[in-house]
Amino acid sequence: MMFCTKCKSILLPDKDNPKKIRCNNCGYVSRGNKGSIILKEKTKESKKIEIIDKSIETLPKTEAECSKCGNKHAFYWLNQTRSSDEAETQFFMCTKCKHRWRSYD
């Protein structure tokens, strides 16, 4: 990484002349570079998020009969699938077999 000799800011490639580098802080411009300028950035890898328990249920439950297995409980959520002046669509997912269906009530 190159720094300005006057104000110690980082020098960046000049937009008008790619063989020169310029300081955006004080306006210093280098005399020129015979080769190409390569900018690199080092970053530390952040820790990846691990899913410990995939079975945690976060959706609310309601009493609704599944047409596939006959179970009486389902998770539900609402989504606006049509225009905004119409009612939301209710989606259900069986707590037992994970079958999904919707209701337009």
Query: Which residues are known catalytic residues?
Result: 85-86
- Which residue reads 């210093």 in tokens? 28
What's the distance, Cα to Cα, between the start and end of the chain in Å? 63
**Range 82-93 burial, b when 16+ CB lie within 10 A, else e:** eeeeeeeebbbb
Hey, what's the torsion of the CAs at 60, 65, 68, 69, to 10 degrees?
A: 90
